[in-house]
Amino acid sequence: MGVNLKGKSFLTLLDFTTDEIRYLLDIARQVKVEKRAGTPTSRFAGRTLAIVFEKRSTRTRTAFETSFGEEGGHAVFLSKDDIHLGVKEDLKDTARVLGRMFDAIAFRGFKQETVEVLAQWSGVPVYNGLTDLYHPTQILADFMTIEESLGSLKGRKLVFVGDSRNNMANSLMIGSAKMGLHFVACGPERLHTDPAIVSKCKEIAKQSGATVEVTEDVDSALKDADAVYTDVWASMGEEDKLQERIALLKPYQVNAEMMKKTGKAETIFLHCLPAVKGNEVTEDVFESPASRVFEEAENRKHTIKAVMIATLL
């Protein structure tokens, strides 16, 4: 395939071609096999990773720390309380210091601009572990899970139900457009995906054969869906809007009745976690045979390891 991503930052899937995303998924599959087999590897021996987080995390933090450590590297976790992240020091100065101390930087926080400044000034690969706009490492894990469960990505119908203007809906739409899926963002009009992102994805879809839809209509959205995806109704930092969101989004709860609307017994359920059961998804769907949420959570580790292998080695 001739893909070379060495030295490249991973900030949004918009920056990656279909072939490059495929390459990352193929590496992830390989490292998962190695991990399951107990094959010892030390690809990152002598290398260091700064994990700079403004927001709390379970999967993203543990995926970066364990995958880097398993490969013989040394990861250092730095919360916003540990370093001068935009406080008493320009962000670009922090970036330049970290770039001289570390071989790579993982960031999780609020503004997309922050991760972009880190990438611009550090001189080392920077990985976006979540911003308010995008969550690209999660999409790799989601796509890996869809392939493992259903055998393929291209042409699959992936439906995101709920708050369609959040970072997950944005990133799933971009990833689907790149990889040729039929993506539907289904939710109330007030919470529809940014039209600029929709327009961009529709342009990308012309090349890949993907289709991109935004709708309020649950019945048409769910029909023939191969995968149904949801996320919390109030993202981190939006907790004050939860009651308003519950009122708006109750008709978009993923429950057994909604899953039946697909008309397919093999439809899978996905969620990036953490989940608020009883809000965006019912306990019975979350714990059902259709649910792949914990395979998806594990795949965060393998896909993040794949990104670091591709960009560091």
Which of the residues are catalytic? Answer: 108, 135, 138, 231, 272, 300
Q: Do the annotations mark residue 273 as ligand-binding?
A: yes
Q: Do the annotations mark residue 300 as ligand-binding?
A: yes
φ and ψ at 205, to 5 degrees? -60, -30
Residue found under tokens 């019945």: 219
Q: Do the annotations mark residue 137 as ligand-binding?
A: yes
Q: Do the annotations mark residue 47 as ligand-binding?
A: no
Q: Do the annotations mark residue 108 as ligand-binding?
A: yes
d(CA 69, CA 47): 10
Q: Do the annotations mark residue 58 as ligand-binding?
A: yes
Q: Do the annotations mark residue 201 as ligand-binding?
A: no
Q: Do the annotations mark residue 120 as ligand-binding?
A: no
With beta carbons less than 8 A apart as the criterion, state whether 178 and 212 touch: no
d(CA 170, CA 167): 5
CB-based burial, 228-261: b 16+ in 10 Å, e otherwise: bbbbbbbbbeeeeeeeebeebbeebbbeeebbeb
Q: Do the annotations mark residue 186 as ligand-binding?
A: no
d(CA 251, CA 258): 10
Q: Do the annotations mark residue 272 as ligand-binding?
A: yes
Q: Copy the structure tokens of residue 165.
A: 């203007």
Q: How many CB atoms lie within 10 A of CB 89?
A: 13
d(CA 171, CA 181): 13
Q: Is 38 exposed, middle or buried (0-12, 13-18, 19+ CB in 10 A)?
A: exposed
Residue found under tokens 């907790």: 239
Q: Do the annotations mark residue 59 as ligand-binding?
A: yes
Q: Do the annotations mark residue 57 as ligand-binding?
A: yes
Query: Which DSSP letter does residue 139 get?
Result: H
Beta strands in the chain (DSSP E): 48-53, 74-79, 104-108, 126-128, 157-161, 182-186, 211-215, 227-230, 268-271
Annotated binding site for carbamoyl phosphate: 57-60, 108, 135-138, 272-273, 300
Annotated binding-site ranges for L-ornithine: 167, 231, 235-236
Q: Which residues are annotated as a binding site?
A: 57-60, 108, 135-138, 167, 231, 235-236, 272-273, 300
